[in-house]
């Protein structure tokens, strides 16, 4: 029997996990398409910007030796011909495809000057540009971080701890995804780090040295960091696959595209039954493992298992010495309980290390990864056979 070829698009937390897990089936040949030869620890990009962590790991230390790493970017999916087009002009054919293209910064086009003058912080190249800009800017120059979610808070506190004067513009509420008690604790740490928090303000324009708030107030900003939301690549929608409003692939309960039984999706770019999980490595790695199991089941004529995973917490680093860990129910709704200060910072660091450790362990022993279940469950649907 000839090897079945599975292509994984995207080498993030979901894609790397899926590629390694597929290698427990020796008759499956796996190609992982990623635009760079390093795995990027996206949850450490704020550390990279401040010079506290490289945030990049050589794939040679993370992938099963049987996974073929294709350093290129996918530009087109042709489901009819089972083909993926690449930036280099090459194309690869597949028997099954795992779509783990991840996410990126949301569009800045709706805010004047944001595309030209603000620095997003969603991808490694974004972080490299921001780090270079900070290096060329005086230490006492004002920095504004736009976006009061977890990414914005982490960026603001990391830069403030490094001695930068930082203003955090939340656009409504600080850390809206966590509970009230954890939010108050986080706000206290921001004050301790001298971060100016403008919770209700939003930005209407960004300039080279200033930004303008919706009420017309001008703030000095030598560097404006943009962390307002995430979008996803348009690759799936361009291929004619059903996607949600953000562009995530709509799948059934087994993470299989509702349009094509040979396409399975995972990570930030999937909406199982139209109900996406929170974008996070906590969701992505189990999704990657389950996507791999679905592919293997479908290729061998077995019924794939339906999505079943649980969430645990939301973890926020507040510089290198403090943090907030918002504990959560298995369905990801926040509890009243949380951890703060140095213990939270230690938990966050352990989790960051653990995500890479889990991918590396799966490479050494494919199929060994386990995840918490019983929080987000979907019912299996009747499966179309592969022909």
330 and 381 together in one domain = yes
Nearest to 367 by CA among 20, 15, 14: 20
What kind and span of H or E run contains 146? Answer: strand 143-146
pLDDT of residue 40 exceeding 60, the answer is: yes
Answer yes or no: is 208 within a domain. yes
Query: At 107, is the pLDDT very low, low, confident or very high (cuts 50, 70, 90)?
Result: confident
- Within the chain, where are the H helices? 13-22, 45-49, 114-117, 124-135, 150-161, 180-192, 235-238, 281-299, 341-364
Answer yes or no: is 152 within a domain. yes
Q: What is the pLDDT, as a whole number, of residue 386?
A: 62
Q: What is the mean pLDDT of residues 50-62?
A: 96
Q: Tokens at residue 264, please?
A: 């399975």
| Strand 4-9 with 28-34, pairing | parallel
Q: What is the pLDDT, as a whole number, of residue 347?
A: 98
Q: What is the pLDDT, as a whole number, of residue 158?
A: 98
Q: Is 195 helix (H, G, I), strand (E, B) or coil?
A: coil
- Count: domains in the chain: 2
Q: Tell me the sheet residues that pair with 71.
A: 34
| CATH code (residue 76) | 3.50.50.60
Q: What is the pLDDT, as a whole number, of residue 108?
A: 76
Answer yes or no: is 109 within a domain. no
Answer yes or no: is 309 within a domain. yes
Q: How far is CA 153 from CA 147, 218, 226, 378, in A?
A: 8, 21, 11, 33
222 and 236 together in one domain = no
Q: What is the pLDDT, as a whole number, of residue 1?
A: 41
Answer yes or no: is 42 within a domain. yes
Q: What is the mean pLDDT of residues 365-382?
A: 84
What kind and span of H or E run contains 203? Answer: strand 203-206
142 and 288 together in one domain = no
Nearest to 40 by CA among 52, 61, 57: 57
Answer yes or no: is 108 within a domain. no
96 and 148 together in one domain = no
Give the global pTM.
0.95
Please identify, among 226, 251, 268, the residue that sits at the C-terminal boundary of a domain: 226
368 and 279 together in one domain = yes
Q: Is 177 helix (H, G, I), strand (E, B) or coil?
A: coil
- A 10 A CB-CB count for 379 gives 9
380 and 282 together in one domain = yes
Q: What is the pLDDT, as a whole number, of residue 2?
A: 65
Q: Are 267 and 288 in contact (CB under 8 A)?
A: yes
% of the chain residues with pLDDT over 90: 93
> What is the DSSP-derived secondary structure letter of residue 42?
G
Q: Tokens at residue 201, please?
A: 């303000």
Q: What is the pLDDT, as a whole number, of residue 387?
A: 47
Domain that holds residue 71: 4-103+232-385
Cβ contacts of 364 within 8 Å, gap of 6 or more: none
Q: What is the pLDDT, as a whole number, of residue 384?
A: 54
56 and 146 together in one domain = no
Provide the mean pLDDT of the chain. 95
Q: Are 46 and 137 in contact (CB under 8 A)?
A: no
Query: At 105, is the pLDDT very low, low, confident or very high (cuts 50, 70, 90)?
Result: confident
89 and 171 together in one domain = no
Q: Tell me the sheet residues that pair with 69.
A: 32
Please identify, among 226, 242, 273, the residue that sits at the C-terminal boundary of a domain: 226
Please identify, among 164, 199, 226, the residue that sits at the C-terminal boundary of a domain: 226
275 and 293 together in one domain = yes
Q: What is the pLDDT, as a whole number, of residue 381?
A: 57
Q: Are 70 and 35 in contact (CB under 8 A)?
A: no
170 and 190 together in one domain = yes
What is d(CA 294, CA 275) in angstroms, rounded to the nearest whole number?
A: 18
97 and 119 together in one domain = no
What are the pLDDT digits (tens) for 216-242?
999 999 999 999 988 899 999 999 999
What are the pLDDT digits (tens) for 135-194?
999 999 999 999 999 999 999 999 999 999 999 999 999 999 999 999 999 999 999 999
Worst-scoring range by mean pLDDT, 9-13, 246-250, 299-303, 373-377?
373-377
Q: Are 18 and 8 in contact (CB under 8 A)?
A: yes
Cβ contacts of 154 within 8 Å, gap of 6 or more: 46, 316, 317, 318
Q: Which runs of E-coded beta strand occur in 207-343?
A: 210-213, 218-220, 223-226, 230-231, 249-251, 263-265, 270-272, 308-309, 313-317, 323-328, 334-340
381 and 251 together in one domain = yes
């Amino acid at each position: 029997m000839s090897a079945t070829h599975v292509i994984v698009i995207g080498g993030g937390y979901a894609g790397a996990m899926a590629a390694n897990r597929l290698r427990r089936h020796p008759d499956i040949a796996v190609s992982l398409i990623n635009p760079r030869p390093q795995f990027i620890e996206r949850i450490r990009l704020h550390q990279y910007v401040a010079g506290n962590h490289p945030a990049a790991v050589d794939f040679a230390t993370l992938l099963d030796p049987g996974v073929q790493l294709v350093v290129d970017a996918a530009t087109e999916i042709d489901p009819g011909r089972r083909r993926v087009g690449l930036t280099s002009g090459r194309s690869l054919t597949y028997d099954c495809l795992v779509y783990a293209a991840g996410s990126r910064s949301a569009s800045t086009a709706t805010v004047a000057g944001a595309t030209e003058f603000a620095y997003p912080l969603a991808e490694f190249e974004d972080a490299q540009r921001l780090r270079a800009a900070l290096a060329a800017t005086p230490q006492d120059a004002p920095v504004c971080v736009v976006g009061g979610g977890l990414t914005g808070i982490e960026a603001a506190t990391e830069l403030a701890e490094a001695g930068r004067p930082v203003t955090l513009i939340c656009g409504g509420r600080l850390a809206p995804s966590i509970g009230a008690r954890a939010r108050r604790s986080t706000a206290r740490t921001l004050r301790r780090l001298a971060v100016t928090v403008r919770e209700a303000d939003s930005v209407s324009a960004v300039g080279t040295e200033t930004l303008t708030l919706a009420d017309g107030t001008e703030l000095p900003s030598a560097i404006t960091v943009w962390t307002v939301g995430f979008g996803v690549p348009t690759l799936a929608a361009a291929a004619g696959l059903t996607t949600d409003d953000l562009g995530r692939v709509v799948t059934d309960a087994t993470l299989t595209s509702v349009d094509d039984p040979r396409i399975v999706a995972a990570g930030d770019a999937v909406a199982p039954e139209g109900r996406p999980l929170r974008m996070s490595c906590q969701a992505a790695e189990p999704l990657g493992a389950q996507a791999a199991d679905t592919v293997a089941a479908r290729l061998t004529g077995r019924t794939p298992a339906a999505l079943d995973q649980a969430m645990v917490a939301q973890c926020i680093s507040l510089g290198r010495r403090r943090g907030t860990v918002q504990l959560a129910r298995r369905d990801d709704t926040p509890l009243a309980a949380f951890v703060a200060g140095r213990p939270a910072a230690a938990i966050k660091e352990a989790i960051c290390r653990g995500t890479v450790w889990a991918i590396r362990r799966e490479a050494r022993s494919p199929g060994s990864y386990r995840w918490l279940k019983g929080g987000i469950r979907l019912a299996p649907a009747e499966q179309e056979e592969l022909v």
